[in-house]
């Protein structure tokens, strides 16, 4: 983790999501620049079907960009790649490397470790196990995953926030700009908004709208 880089996990949790091997570094960088200009508090790279080499190449390029912007950079799923590019964090799913094992492997690098959770009970368990932050969802129906977990809703999100406290919770799944205020009202630290921001005609303005719902400018 970069010396002196503090996490301010509140507002807009941005994701550059590239499906397969087709995403070019230039396209990822262009989107990342807009997300950072839109007030991203954290930037995550997600490449579910990429080879380790391809993921490393894109992650290395984004690491340089986020370091210059002084915004924490997180690699989804792959602790090895996160370590290789000197990322600030790694985000693990329920079927990824166990949190305890990841903590040992990442200790020297002082990586933050986020964990995806899909029920208030999972959120509480991950928080008590030592996760630095949690993803929780899907809060609403989502199209960004092929086989999404059951929709949780804002009431379950609020319960997850309560049960995980003081560990920050990032809401994810089907969040539109019209729904961000409802998400923020639950006490969630941030919202991960992918489609509604990345597909917007003005990505920067959409990102800023998410950040503003949490009191960030």
Three-state secondary structure of 153-185: HHHHHHHHHHHHCCCCEEEECCCCCCCHHHHHC
Structure tokens at 39: 């007030």
Q: Any catalytic annotation for residue 145?
A: yes
Phi first, then psi: give them for residue 21, nearest 5 degrees: -95, 0
- Say if residues 138 and 123 touch (Cβ distance below 8 Å): no
Is the Cβ–Cβ distance between 72 and 88 less than 8 Å? Answer: yes
The structure tokens 């397969």 sit at 20
Q: Which of 46, 112, 179, 208 is catalytic?
A: 46
Q: Catalytic one among 112, 116, 179, 208?
A: 116
Report, as residue numbers or ranges, the catalytic residues. 46, 116, 145
């Amino acid at each position: 983790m970069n010396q002196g880089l503090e996490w301010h996990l509140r507002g807009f949790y941005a994701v550059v999501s590239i499906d397969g091997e087709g995403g070019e570094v230039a396209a990822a960088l262009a989107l990342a620049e807009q997300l950072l200009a839109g007030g991203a508090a954290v930037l995550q790279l997600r490449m579910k079907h990429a080879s380790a080499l391809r993921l490393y190449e894109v992650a290395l390029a984004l690491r340089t960009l986020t370091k210059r912007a002084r915004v924490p950079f997180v690699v989804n799923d792959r602790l090895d790649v996160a370590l290789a590019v000197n990322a600030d964090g790694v985000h693990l799913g329920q079927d990824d490397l166990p949190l305890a094992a990841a903590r040992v492997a990442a200790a020297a690098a002082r990586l933050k470790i986020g964990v995806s959770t899909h029920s208030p009970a999972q959120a509480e368990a991950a928080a008590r196990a030592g996760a630095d932050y949690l993803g929780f969802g899907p809060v609403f129906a989502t199209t960004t995953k092929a086989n999404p977990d059951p929709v949780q809703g804002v009431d379950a999100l609020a319960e997850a926030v309560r049960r995980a406290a003081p560990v920050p919770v990032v809401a994810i799944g089907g969040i539109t700009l019209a729904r961000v205020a409802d998400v923020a009202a639950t006490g969630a630290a941030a919202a991960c908004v992918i489609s509604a921001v990345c597909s917007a005609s003005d990505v920067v303005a959409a990102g800023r709208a998410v950040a503003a719902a949490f009191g960030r400018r």
